[in-house]
């Protein structure tokens, strides 16, 4: 029980208030959950003591499912219903998926995101990911014998808005409060930097099962500043497996035709690849419907066939250095993350490129989850928030469509978040009363080459001659990297706004439907959970506001103070009630009613901090 936990020095004063927050690495091939316990981040094991959960879900005909090791073991015998590497499908349409003919699934081309037909019905990648997240959530709840306050979930730095939104949707479906999505290389840097007290410019080279990321960060006294990030959201260990599998088939006269064959040969290729990290030779062997596949492969042969994949990662590294206007000689250290960096050829290529030995002393499988756990602990308001500050960037430019299908960049890639930018546009026809706004993401010049995120219309523009209207479109990106867009005609004040839920994301209704249909979280559980969360939030707001009044009450007039006291009393009156909507409304009223006070306090704290710093500088 949380009651028995001992409060650490500098931790929340009341042990009841310590909130359990975890970091989750939702990976292509495997996933992990980690948490800070007694001041140390550690991965949480399952009942058998294993920390790694294979990212595999097998759907059974009676509505049951196997998740993790069991599912993976069954992938070859039931390939159609066993979804592995689902991360490569997240936020993607059918046409986006490379080499889909080599995958053993029955894909369904659904609007927005591809889906998979299984024996238990049609599954969206979001649902499959939610199964994995829910398994990890249960693992963590068992470990702490308590509910989770929330989770920080990692995503590849190069994930676009659609892929990020899909990940957030999966968290919601799994009943997790996603405190933040953070980028995998950034998480790795946190774990690495905090452990080693590193300072300076670091490159994080993250080659996972299905994605490749490269980030350049500056570490300085607990501040983790991402300077530039890049990569390829469809390049990873799976691609090495596929190359090796194709090669092995070409060496024999066999073909992989059935779903089971396709899976078997990939599983065998992966085993051979892993063996080649330590041995000079390996044998790729598996039964296929046309006969027994048995091919011997040397490390040299494997490296020759994969040279081009490694070269692709280095091209992305060069691009990031160019974006950062940094020279590779300025890089103090190169942190290797992701299981695929175990391949000697990858370590050698990266080492040669940077002329230094890459850092491999943290377990490349665990480092991302550990970093996420540290950030989760800080975001939950537990100890450590003061020592850590993460300044991340958006990986891809956010743009608007302009005349002729061209792209106007509003927020360039690698802008530090949170950020906001505005740009003015005008009408091109006399008497034009509406303007269509199409938000896209990408680096290309043509809208058709970028990813469409959202469309909305600004209506009710007063009729004017062409070019007279002044339409200001503002983009705002929050600390999660999620975008909202507002358009306003300045002469008339007409406005329209949208929170960008990419066309590939799920609508809230879809989520609600899936929650109802899914047995991940039963409805009564949901209600009880909402109520509990609302009460905790009310308690937290009461404490925070009282503390603020104590510290900075002198900023308020008597009237202002009375108004806030009345709102506090309003929460007191309802917080033990059974309706979470009522509690939420009272909390929101307090939040609104204290906004001006919060702004004043912020001004004061900045003044004090800067004054203090000036004294230090003297």
CB of residue 379 to another protein, shortest distance in Å: 5
Sheet order of strands, 106-108 included: 106-108, 115-118, 121-123
Distance (Å, whole) CA 139 – CA 132: 11
Distance (Å, whole) CA 242 – CA 84: 14
Q: Of 357 and 491, which has the nearer Cβ to another protein?
A: 491
Site for another protein in 396-415 (CB under 8 A): 415
Of the CA atoms within 13 Å of residue 478, those in its CB half-sphere come to 11
Stretch that binds another protein, among 2-10, 30-38, 520-528, 539-547 (CB under 8 A): 539-547
Distance (Å, whole) CA 225 – CA 336: 18
Binder of another protein out of 40, 389, 566, 569 (CB under 8 A) = 389
CB of residue 72 to another protein, shortest distance in Å: 36
Rounded to 5 degrees, what are φ and ψ at 328?
-65, -20
Contact yes or no for 399/500 (Cβ under 8 A): no
Distance (Å, whole) CA 146 – CA 8: 19
Q: Number of residues in contact with another protein, rule: CB under 8 A? A: 52
Distance (Å, whole) CA 484 – CA 496: 11
Query: From the centroid of its chain, how far is CA 298?
Result: 37
Q: What is the CA radius of gyration of the chain?
A: 26
CB of residue 269 to another protein, shortest distance in Å: 29
Decide if residue 223 touches another protein (CB under 8 A).
yes
Query: Of the residues 46, 78, 87, 401, which is catalytic?
Result: 87
CB of residue 118 to another protein, shortest distance in Å: 39
Decide if residue 513 touches another protein (CB under 8 A).
no
CB of residue 591 to another protein, shortest distance in Å: 4
Nearest to 60 by CA among 82, 76, 75, 77: 82
Does residue 206 carry a catalytic annotation? Answer: yes
CB of residue 159 to another protein, shortest distance in Å: 20
CB of residue 434 to another protein, shortest distance in Å: 24
Contact yes or no for 371/24 (Cβ under 8 A): no
DSSP codes, 248-288: HHHHSS----SHHHHHHHHHHHHHHHHHHTT-SEEEEEEEE
CB of residue 569 to another protein, shortest distance in Å: 16
CA dihedral 562, 564, 567, 573 (to 10 degrees): -70
Decide if residue 613 touches another protein (CB under 8 A).
yes
Site for another protein in 413-452 (CB under 8 A): 415-420
Decide if residue 476 touches another protein (CB under 8 A).
yes
Query: Of the residues 25, 238, 261, 489, which is catalytic?
Result: 25
Site for another protein in 541-560 (CB under 8 A): 541, 544-545, 548
- Measured CA to CA in angstroms, residue 542 lies from 13, 177, 326, 592 at distances of 15, 21, 48, 14
Does residue 123 carry a catalytic annotation? Answer: no
Decide if residue 573 touches another protein (CB under 8 A).
no
Q: In this structure, are strands 115-118 and 106-108 parallel, antiparallel, or unpaired?
A: antiparallel
Of the CA atoms within 13 Å of residue 215, those in its CB half-sphere come to 34
CB of residue 54 to another protein, shortest distance in Å: 32
Binder of another protein out of 110, 406, 528, 609 (CB under 8 A) = 609
Site for another protein in 328-387 (CB under 8 A): 378-381, 385-386
Binder of another protein out of 73, 326, 391, 555 (CB under 8 A) = 391
**Binding pattern for the stretch 589-608 against another protein, x by CB under 8 A and - elsewhere:** -xxxxxx-xxx-xxx-xxx-
Binder of another protein out of 322, 516, 532, 581 (CB under 8 A) = 322
174 CB-near residues (< 8 Å, 6+ apart): 130, 131, 133, 134, 137, 520, 521
Distance (Å, whole) CA 461 – CA 470: 10
CB of residue 373 to another protein, shortest distance in Å: 15
Distance (Å, whole) CA 112 – CA 126: 12
CB of residue 15 to another protein, shortest distance in Å: 15
Q: Of 513 and 607, which has the nearer Cβ to another protein?
A: 607
- Measured CA to CA in angstroms, residue 372 lies from 75, 76, 159, 434, 609 at distances of 29, 32, 17, 44, 28
Q: Of 72 and 571, which has the nearer Cβ to another protein?
A: 571
**Binding pattern for the stretch 177-216 against another protein, x by CB under 8 A and - elsewhere:** --x-------------------------------------
Cis peptide before 418 (omega within 30 of 0): yes
Contact yes or no for 199/127 (Cβ under 8 A): no
Decide if residue 296 touches another protein (CB under 8 A).
no
Stretch that binds another protein, among 100-108, 318-326, 357-365, 524-532 (CB under 8 A): 318-326
Binder of another protein out of 146, 478, 533, 552 (CB under 8 A) = 478
Rounded to 5 degrees, what are φ and ψ at 287?
-80, 130
159 CB-near residues (< 8 Å, 6+ apart): 91, 167, 211, 233, 395
Binder of another protein out of 540, 552, 561, 582 (CB under 8 A) = 540
Query: Of the residues 46, 78, 131, 184, which is catalytic?
Result: 184
Cis peptide before 252 (omega within 30 of 0): no
Q: Of 234 and 542, which has the nearer Cβ to another protein?
A: 542
Distance (Å, whole) CA 467 – CA 202: 48
Distance (Å, whole) CA 448 – CA 438: 12
Decide if residue 568 touches another protein (CB under 8 A).
no
Q: Of 290 and 412, which has the nearer Cβ to another protein?
A: 412
Query: Of the residues 161, 169, 206, 225, which is catalytic?
Result: 206
Decide if residue 325 touches another protein (CB under 8 A).
no
Residues near another protein, by CB under 8 A: 179, 220, 223, 225, 315, 318-319, 322, 378-381, 385-386, 389-391, 415-420, 476, 478-479, 540-541, 544-545, 548, 587-588, 590-595, 597-599, 601-603, 605-607, 609-610, 613-614
Residues marked as catalytic: 25, 87, 184, 206
């Amino acid at each position: 029980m949380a009651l028995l936990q001992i409060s650490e020095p500098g931790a929340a004063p009341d042990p009841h208030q310590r909130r359990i927050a975890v970091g989750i690495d939702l990976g292509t091939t495997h996933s992990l959950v980690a948490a800070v316990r007694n001041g140390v981040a550690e991965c949480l094991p399952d009942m058998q003591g294993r920390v790694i959960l294979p990212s595999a879900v097998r759907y059974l005909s009676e509505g049951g499912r196997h998740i993790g090791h069991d599912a993976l073991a069954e992938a070859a015998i039931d390939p159609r219903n066993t979804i592995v590497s689902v991360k490569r499908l997240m936020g993607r349409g059918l046409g986006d998926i490379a080499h889909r003919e080599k995958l053993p699934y029955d894909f369904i081309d659904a609007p927005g995101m591809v889906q998979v037909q299984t024996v238990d019905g049609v599954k969206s990648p979001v649902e499959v990911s939610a199964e994995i997240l829910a398994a990890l959530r249960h693992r963590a709840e068992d470990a702490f014998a308590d509910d989770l306050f929330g989770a920080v979930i990692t995503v590849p730095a190069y994930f676009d808005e659609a892929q990020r939104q899909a990940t957030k949707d999966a968290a919601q479906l799994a009943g997790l409060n996603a405190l933040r999505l953070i980028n995998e290389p950034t998480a790795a840097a946190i774990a690495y930097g905090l452990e080693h007290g590193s300072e300076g410019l670091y490159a994080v080279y993250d080659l996972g099962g299905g994605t490749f990321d490269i980030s350049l960060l500056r570490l300085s006294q607990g501040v983790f500043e991402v300077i530039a990030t890049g990569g390829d959201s469809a390049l990873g260990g799976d691609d090495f497996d596929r190359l090796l599998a194709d090669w092995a088939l070409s060496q024999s006269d066999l073909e992989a035709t059935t779903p089971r064959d396709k899976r078997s040969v990939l599983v065998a290729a992966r085993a051979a690849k892993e063996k080649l990290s330590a041995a000079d030779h390996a044998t790729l062997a598996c039964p296929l419907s046309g006969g027994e596949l048995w091919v011997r492969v040397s490390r040299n042969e494997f490296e020759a066939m994969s040279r081009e994949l490694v070269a692709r990662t280095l091209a992305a590294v060069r691009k990031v250095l160019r974006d950062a206007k940094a020279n590779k000689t300025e890089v103090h250290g190169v942190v290797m993350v992701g299981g695929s960096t175990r391949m000697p050829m990858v370590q050698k290529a990266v080492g040669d490129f940077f002329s230094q030995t890459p850092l491999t002393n943290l377990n490349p499988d665990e480092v991302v989850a550990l970093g996420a756990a540290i950030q989760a602990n800080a975001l939950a308001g537990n100890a450590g928030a003061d020592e850590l500050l993460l300044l991340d960037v958006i990986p891809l430019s956010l743009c608007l469509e302009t005349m002729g299908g061209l792209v106007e960049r509003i927020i360039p890639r690698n802008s530090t978040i949170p950020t906001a930018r505005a740009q003015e546009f005008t009408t091109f026809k006399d008497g034009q009363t509406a303007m269509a706004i199409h938000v896209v993401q990408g680096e290309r010049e043509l809208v058709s080459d970028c990813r469409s995120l959202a469309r909305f219309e600004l209506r009710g523009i007063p009729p004017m001659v062409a070019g007279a209207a002044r339409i200001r479109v503002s983009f705002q990106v929050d600390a999660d990297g999620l975008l909202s867009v507002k358009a306003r005609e300045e002469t008339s004040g007409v406005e329209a706004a949208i929170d960008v839920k990419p066309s590939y994301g799920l609508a809230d209704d879809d989520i609600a439907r899936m929650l109802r249909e899914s047995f991940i979280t039963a409805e009564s559980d949901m209600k009880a959970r909402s109520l509990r969360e609302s009460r905790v939030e009310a308690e937290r707001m009461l404490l925070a506001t009282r503390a603020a009044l104590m510290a900075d009450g002198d900023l308020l007039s008597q009237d202002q103070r009375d108004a806030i006291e009345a709102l506090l009393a309003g929460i007191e009156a309802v917080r033990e009630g059974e309706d979470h909507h009522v509690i939420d409304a009272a909390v929101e009223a307090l939040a609104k009613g204290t906004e001006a006070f919060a702004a004043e306090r912020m001004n004061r704290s900045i003044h004090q901090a800067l004054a203090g710093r000036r004294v230090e500088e003297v």
